Structure 1
Amino acid sequence: MSSEELFPQPRATDTPLRDLVDLTPPRQVALGALGRAKAAAAQRGYRPGDPARRRPLVPVQVGTAGPGARDPQLVGSTVSGLLDQLGGPSDQVAGVLKHRWSELVGPQVAEHCEYVSFEGGALTLRAHSTSWATQLKFLTPAMLGRFAADLGDGVVVEITVLNPGGPRFRTGPKRVQGRGERDTFR
């Protein structure tokens, strides 16, 4: 068998194709397409007469040289960003204050007072005795200068010195039996 027998070639005729095949009129094709478009629009929630819905134009960044937001980031910058979102740098400063307390205030001062809290630029510390509380109140300007030099300007803006807590009567002749210390409510 030859290839012409397997794959017959179409013969050229003088008769146009529209005469050989029954074609759908162009008006009917256009009406069918319009009907399908209207059905698809109705399915998406569009109604005739509604204002056109346009997507907001988003600037497309094309071929910039330099680091982008999707590039790998350094751990330090990522952690700083996370701390800013979670609670700002005050949490980070609070950790530095706790960790480096004796280094920041000096060993003698650190021996007689303890870090309590740091929020919004206000450092709170507790003295071990009333005389040291008075001394720390006088040392407040020097401590603010030291914190500004070590931690940065405006990080610690206020220092509150708390007096030591009252005596604890857990043992001895003034001990009170019952649910709690000096608890008189029944």
Structure 2
Amino acid sequence: MPEPRNSSESDDDSLVAPELPEDEEHDKQGLDLAKSLAGRLKQQAANGGFKPVKRKRRSRIEGVQVSGARPDDRDPQKLTNTLGRLMRDQGWEVDVAVHGVMARWPTIVGRETAQHCTPESYENNILTVRTSSTAWATQLKLLAPDLVRRLNAELGDGTVVAVNVQGPHAPSWRRGPRTVRGGRGPRDTYG
């Protein structure tokens, strides 16, 4: 049984392991290793303690910038800002706005008018609109100046200069039972 420790004993005695009974075996190398490590740690503490390890400061590589406290382009960005910058850089702003107007066509021209006419294309500041009948084509031609004004209010001044109104797609009379050889075919009010 180990003897009680006296406070006047030196610290070296505190690292000595209590003696084990003879019948139990233990690894003397492990005990010796632990004693030697404890002795080295004591010696370092007595010589002024542990010194902090100095880390080398990273040198800045020329040309590489590190993000600072202020926001810049390398920081995470909102998707709307990034897409807006991409559209502006590529010159897609007008095309995207026009396609947005085509998607909102019923709210711009009215529900009844939108049922009878649809926008087909936008090129060179001219919007092409296809109607369901010649009567609606005539009506839309009369409303074209008002429609140009509304579209420019939505898209920006000068985005739409004119509206090209086209009637319905006429059937082809070049083949079939109603074909007239050498003639113009049946007369109708298409387009």
The TM-score, its normalising length taken from structure 2, stands at 0.50
Measure how far apart 1:128 and its partner are.
Answer: 1.7
Q: 1:146 aligns with which of 140, 146, 150?
A: 150
1:116 is aligned with what amino acid? E
Task: Tell me if 1:88 matches 2:92.
Answer: yes
Per the alignment, residue 55 of structure 1 pairs with none
How far apart, CA to CA, are the structure 2 residues paired with 1:157 and 1:88? Answer: 18
Task: Tell me if 1:116 matches 2:120.
Answer: yes
1:108 is aligned with what amino acid? E
Paired residues for 1:1-40 under 5 Å? none
How far apart, CA to CA, are the structure 2 residues paired with 1:172 and 1:130? Answer: 24
Per the alignment, residue 132 of structure 1 pairs with 136
1:123 is aligned with what amino acid? L
Measure how far apart 1:169 and its partner are.
Answer: 5.5
Unaligned segments of structure 1, at least 5 residues: 1-57, 176-186
How far apart, CA to CA, are the structure 2 residues paired with 1:107 and 1:79? Answer: 31
Q: How large is the RMSD of aligned CA atoms in angstroms? A: 3.4
Residue 73 of structure 2 aligns to a residue whose secondary structure is coil
Residues 94, 117 of structure 1: 8 Å contact kept: no
Structure (1 or 2) with the larger CA radius of gyration: 2
Residue 156 of structure 1 aligns to a residue whose secondary structure is coil
Measure how far apart 1:117 and its partner are.
Answer: 0.8
Residues 115, 126 of structure 1: 8 Å contact kept: yes
Measure how far apart 1:96 and its partner are.
Answer: 0.8
Unaligned segments of structure 2, at least 5 residues: 1-62, 180-191
Per the alignment, residue 189 of structure 2 pairs with none
Residues 129, 164 of structure 2: 8 Å contact kept: yes
Residues matched between the structures, number: 119
1:153 is aligned with what amino acid? D
Residue 96 of structure 1 aligns to a residue whose secondary structure is helix
Measure how far apart 1:62 and its partner are.
Answer: 10
Measure how far apart 1:173 and its partner are.
Answer: 3.2
